[in-house]
A and B are shown apart, each in its own frame.
Chain A
């Protein structure tokens, strides 16, 4: 295992070195090409873009209202992408392709195989490499003529000012409320427009915030209170369709390009309110499975009493952000479920023994049917947790939860992914009187399918 890890790292390192060499070669070639051209006609290059720029960007430059001026804006733009994942990869690819002069990427994670179906800038050969380095290797292949900054760290209240201040436009490509509030706050404080997108399962959302800086609403204006932590489900748990998040990332790049071409990113809070009208802010909702897949809804403007952007003496300051903001605490931490007593829970080893002894029992797997369909414990019956949470009242029909042919004294064991929903389901059955005041065992399997894979059946394709 160590050897594999070592080889992976070695490969990743070589890949990075190769990417760097290729970029240097491209730069040298460009230079020598320019020099030889110079020698040929000994005449100064007299056009505002470099010769290779005209070739590379010709197709977008001839689009109405883009033009040379648009390309010059793009060339001088410095754009930061926070997150080099499902949103950040496609967004970065299009921004690099378009010739954004400086692209910065912030991400503290390494590439995993499960990222690859959607995070299109990474590669199987770069699994284990830092995402920012992997993405830059890909982007240099796409466009070696622009500058890339890889910030191999998570954005924190401590490093946010130093990183974000180097850019004039920010894309929020992260995956958690904590980072979303932090990014919005630092963009308000440093007067950077923010293009924010998110995606989950088959849905996506997109909104341009703090645009123009100091005038448009910030993330807190739109979402003043964070959602309760138990309602926040990540892509790792809930799943995500690649093209759904890809669509949102591409749309982010488009919004960024629109902003840059118009020069809005350079307005940096210099507007004094008299000229610039704040446009109605729209939130784009993408629902891949809906009858109307794209929908734009009108959102509120700036919130006068906003904690971050109200602009009065009580608003957040850079120093406060750095020294006293705790975004994790603000958004809350998901507490582990503790509904059952230790004697109501059995270990996976214990369950393995029970099933080997062929003792009469019922094993309910309460994961959703997609999870169950991928892998399950032999003999288990799938009753998704939503059926338990939808069940109302005592004395009602239980056949939707427990198969009718199960003996009334057979113990019931409940299993789920990691051991949270199984407690909820067991508690529900007890509340419904299924355990007959303790006469019949109703309990769950500690650690769920994850523990089953770790201790009993390592072949289980656990997701």
Chain B
């Protein structure tokens, strides 16, 4: 029983960073230390998809959500780096978060 409760309230500590202009959507703060439930409401391990949803609901102050999420997915032109590796090497939205992970969202730049 006790372990069940502990599991239900288990939290993940994450460092979430924004760069390339995305920080503008998150109160101009580049580095956020977040705690997230280790499982979602259905009891599944928290994934990047869940993190993105959480960021939209609880961290983003700006109402221009479409600059971060389009059609239910991260908008094209944003790279996600999980512990300094492209999320495509790690399973993209399905990647299961671990405590201590560093997740970096970078907007691709075009100027020159």
Contacts and interface: CB of A to CB of B under 8 A. Distances in A.
A87 B19 CA distance: 20
A349 interface: no
A432 to B, nearest CB: 12
B75 interface: yes
B108 interface: yes
Q: Is the interface of A mostly helix, strand, loop or mixed?
A: mixed
Contacts, number: 111
A225 B111 contact: no
Interface in A206-244: 223-228, 231-235, 238, 240
A64 B110 CA distance: 35
B112 A86 contact: yes
A200 B20 contact: yes
A282 to B, nearest CB: 10
A235 B111 contact: yes
B59 to A, nearest CB: 12
Interface stretch (A32-40, A121-129, A173-181): A173-181
A145 interface: no
A203 interface: yes
Contact of A200 (B21, B79, B84, B85): B21
Q: Which of A175, A203, A204: most chain B Cβ within 10 A?
A: A203
Nearest to B64: A389
B30 interface: yes
B62 A298 contact: no
A391 B63 contact: yes
B24 interface: yes
B50 to A, nearest CB: 22
Contact of B111 (A199, A291, A298): A199
Contacts of A390: 61-63
B81 A297 contact: yes
Contacts of B63: 389-392
A175 B111 contact: yes
Contact of B108 (A198, A297, A300): A198
A389 B62 contact: yes
A355 interface: no
B107 interface: yes
A194 to B, nearest CB: 14
Interface string A60-104: 000000000000000000000001011110000000000000000
A165 interface: no
B85 A297 contact: yes
B48 to A, nearest CB: 15
Interface in B88-112: 88-89, 104, 106-112
Contacts of A225: 76-77
Q: Chain A interface residue count: which class?
A: 35 or more
Contacts of A238: 21, 111
A223 B63 CA distance: 26
B34 interface: no
A283 B70 CA distance: 24
A31 to B, nearest CB: 38
A198 B109 CA distance: 6
A143 interface: no
B40 interface: no
Given A386-B24, A389-B64, A392-B63, A200 B110 contact: yes
Interface in A237-286: 238, 240, 245, 248, 283, 285
Contact of B110 (A88, A232, A245, A283): A232
A294 to B, nearest CB: 12
A279 to B, nearest CB: 14
Q: Nearest 6 CB-CB pairs, A to B?
A: A227-B77, A225-B76, A198-B109, A87-B112, A300-B88, A200-B111
Interface of A: 83, 85-88, 172-177, 180, 197-201, 203-205, 223-228, 231-235, 238, 240, 245, 248, 283, 285, 287, 290-291, 295-300, 386, 389-392
Given A233-B21, A297-B86, 17 more contacts: A198-B111, A205-B108, A223-B76, A223-B77, A223-B108, A225-B76, A226-B76, A227-B107, A228-B70, A231-B67, A285-B20, A296-B84, A297-B81, A297-B85, A298-B89, A386-B24, A386-B62
19 contacts: A86-B112, A198-B108, A198-B112, A199-B109, A200-B21, A200-B110, A205-B108, A227-B78, A228-B70, A228-B76, A231-B77, A245-B111, A285-B19, A296-B84, A297-B85, A299-B89, A300-B89, A390-B61, A391-B63
